[in-house]
Chains A and B, each alone.
Chain A
Amino acid sequence: MSQVTNQNPEQDPQPDPVFTLHMAAMREMQEPRDGIAPTPVSYIIMCLLFVLGGGWYLGYYGGEWTANGLSERPIAGIPPAPPPQDPMVLGKEVFGACLQCHQESGLGVAGTYPPLAGSEYVLGDKRRLVAILLKGLNGEFVVKGNTYNSQMPAWEIREDEEIAAVLTYIRNSWGNKADAVSKDLVTAVRKETAGRGEWRAATLAEFAK
């Protein structure tokens, strides 16, 4: 038994090789290790900290806990309205859809598409102008003394804001000078003309008497 508890096998001049190899394992048996090391306090504190941190994260990024809360951060109070966009800038962007016929110069195509620059319809009654844009215009039509016969498509699908912006843009470009078209006017005219088809020269004149 003496060698089993011997802590220094090196003292033995000729230790049994197998025995030496198993020294470590045999010492292990003497240790008071039972697999019941108690849970350290620091460990419990760590767990609590994790739970606290998790709770904080849950509250901070909870996204208001609604099915529609797609943003993880709670929105404090009323969200600030997006800054109003300059109608001339937005209008120029929207005008990209008009370029092909009315041209970048706003002069149209002689004999086919009427000009916007200096046009009495552009510079005149705003209500009529909005109505043309919303519903489109078909058939013979006189602008600046010239007769045109082509089709202006309806642009109802565009937002009120976009329509107001593009109209403000054409009323203030190529030497045109007139007051801006408001979004509210577009909304009102859209409501007024709901259900109507495209204009003819006659129906438009009737509408904007």
Chain B
Amino acid sequence: MFIWSFALISGITMVWLLAWAIRRGEFQNMREGARMIFDDQEPAGLVTDHFPGEPR
């Protein structure tokens, strides 16, 4: 009984979260989503990691 109600609650939560994400527009504007890790100091196109103290 406990397991069934737990499964039901989890399932409903999952569906609700998916609906919430869609309503928030998480699945739109993918371009912005993909680019959000870059900023003015580390823009797309910039390599940001090197071995320390070595020529790049």
Contacts from A to B (Cβ < 8 Å)? 21-22, 25-26, 28-29, 34-36
Contacts and interface: CB of A to CB of B under 8 A. Distances in A.
B45 A25 contact: yes
A187 B50 CA distance: 85
Contacts, number: 23
B35 A28 contact: no
Chain B interface size band reads 10 to 19
Interface string B17-34: 000000000000011011
Contacts of A34: 30-31, 34-35
Nearest to B35: A35
B33 A35 contact: yes
B46 interface: yes
Q: Which of A25, A28, A29, A35 has the most CB of B within 10 A?
A: A35
- A interface: dominant SS: helix
A29 B56 CA distance: 19
B33 A26 contact: no
Given A21-B56, A34-B35, A29 B30 contact: no
A25 B34 contact: no
Interface in B2-21: none
Interface of B: 30-31, 33-35, 43-47, 56
Given A25-B47, A29-B44, A29-B45, 19 more contacts: A21-B56, A22-B47, A25-B45, A25-B46, A26-B45, A28-B44, A28-B45, A29-B43, A34-B30, A34-B31, A34-B34, A35-B30, A35-B31, A35-B33, A35-B34, A35-B35, A36-B30, A36-B31, A36-B34
Nearest to A35: B34
A34 B30 CA distance: 8
Contacts of A25: 45-47
Nearest to A21: B56
Contacts of B43: 29
Contacts of A26: 45
Nearest to B46: A25
